[in-house]
């Protein structure tokens, strides 16, 4: 495993693809890009997330209004549900005027539970980890966050061979739930996407490579605004309104 990177700064672009569009793009991606370290032998890996928010969903309500600045807090764990590990990332995701940043620190499950319950943990050995943990503690304090949404999905991830700042992920089998926040329980929940669709995210330092932009145009793939957590919240609100009618 390579050294953990704590801070990311990049533009993030989202695309909603049909299965056919994904399958047509994959040969080109495999030719121009390399699978990332989490994809052994080109196989997808599982990403599990727990999003934290206020009891009134204030953070995601603000986010879907598309303000110039927004932020979210989540826990993220990689790997299969049936393979236990004690490593989890606490992440702060922010976006300001279209530029996204992600600040994360790897901790144990026990440490994450303490931080999010506003309890102290032992200091880490590096400056950035301690700084990020301080930021998390501050956000937890001012927002009084609680676990809100569990989300899991299957991910293929690629990195450009010539430009390591260009990264691409394709997420499928996205499931969400609000009744169980245990990383070991699953996969289970409500499908987020309509059948036959996947979400592609592109992370770039400045601009997408020309070959990739041309491929998107040729395949009829267009930029969209898409937030998994945002879509889950909107779907839940629509369901509640329909039940009240």
- Judge whether residue 3 has pLDDT over 60: no
- Judge whether residue 2 has pLDDT over 60: no
pLDDT in tens, 111-135: 999 999 999 999 999 999 999 999 9
Higher pLDDT, 186 or 103: 103
Residue range 20-27: average pLDDT? Answer: 96
* Stretch among 48-57, 97-106, 170-179 having the lowest mean pLDDT: 97-106
- Judge whether residue 59 has pLDDT over 80: yes
- Judge whether residue 5 has pLDDT over 60: no
Residue 99's pLDDT band, with cuts at 50, 70 and 90, is confident
Residue range 192-216: average pLDDT? Answer: 92
Higher pLDDT, 33 or 98: 33
What's the whole-number average pLDDT of the chain? 91
C-alpha neighbours within 13 Å on the C-beta side of residue 76: 18
pLDDT in tens, 167-199: 999 999 999 999 999 998 878 999 999 999 999
- Judge whether residue 4 has pLDDT over 90: no
- Three-state SS annotation for the chain: CCCCCCEEEEEEEEEEEEHHHHHHHHHHHHHHEEECCCCHHHCCEEEEEEEEECCCCHHHHHHCCCCCEEEEEEEEEECCCCCCCCEEEEEEEEEECCEEEEEEEEEEHHHHHHHHCCCCCCCCCCHHHHHHHHHHHHHHHHHCCEEEEEEEEEEEEEEECCCCCCEEEEEEEEEEECCCCCCCCCCCCEECCCCCEEEEEEEECCCCCHHHHHHHHHHCCCCECCCHHHHHHHHHHHHHHHHHC
Q: Where are the domains positioned within the chain?
A: 7-12+33-244
Q: What's the confidence (pLDDT) of residue 190? A: 95
Q: What's the confidence (pLDDT) of residue 100? A: 85
In CATH, the number for domain 7-12+33-244 is 3.20.100.30
| Nearest-angstrom CA–CA distance, 89 and 183 | 12
- Judge whether residue 206 has pLDDT over 80: no
């Amino acid at each position: 495993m390579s050294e953990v990177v704590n801070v990311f700064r990049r533009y993030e672009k989202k695309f909603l693809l049909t299965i056919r569009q994904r399958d047509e793009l994959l040969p080109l991606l495999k030719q121009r890009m390399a699978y990332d370290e989490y994809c052994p032998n080109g196989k997808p890996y599982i990403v599990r997330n727990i999003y934290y928010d206020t009891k009134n969903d204030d953070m995601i309500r603000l986010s879907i209004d598309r303000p110039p600045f927004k932020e979210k807090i989540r826990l993220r764990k990689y790997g299969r549900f049936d393979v236990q590990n004690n490593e989890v990332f606490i992440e702060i995701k922010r976006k300001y005027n279209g530029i996204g940043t992600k600040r994360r620190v790897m901790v144990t499950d026990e440490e994450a539970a303490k931080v999010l319950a506003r309890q102290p943990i032992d200091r880490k050995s590096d400056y950035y980890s301690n700084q990020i943990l301080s930021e998390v503690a501050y956000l937890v304090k001012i927002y009084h966050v609680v676990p809100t949404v569990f989300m899991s999905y299957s991910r293929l991830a690629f990195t450009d061979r010539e430009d390591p700042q260009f990264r691409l992920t394709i997420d499928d089998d996205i499931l969400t739930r609000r009744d169980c926040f245990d990383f070991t329980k699953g996969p289970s929940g409500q499908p987020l996407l309509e059948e036959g669709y996947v979400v592609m995210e592109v992370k770039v330092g400045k601009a997408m490579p020309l070959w990739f932009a041309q491929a998107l145009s040729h395949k009829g793939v267009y930029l969209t605004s898409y937030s998994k957590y945002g879509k889950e919240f909107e779907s839940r609100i629509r369901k509640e309104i329909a039940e009240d009618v």
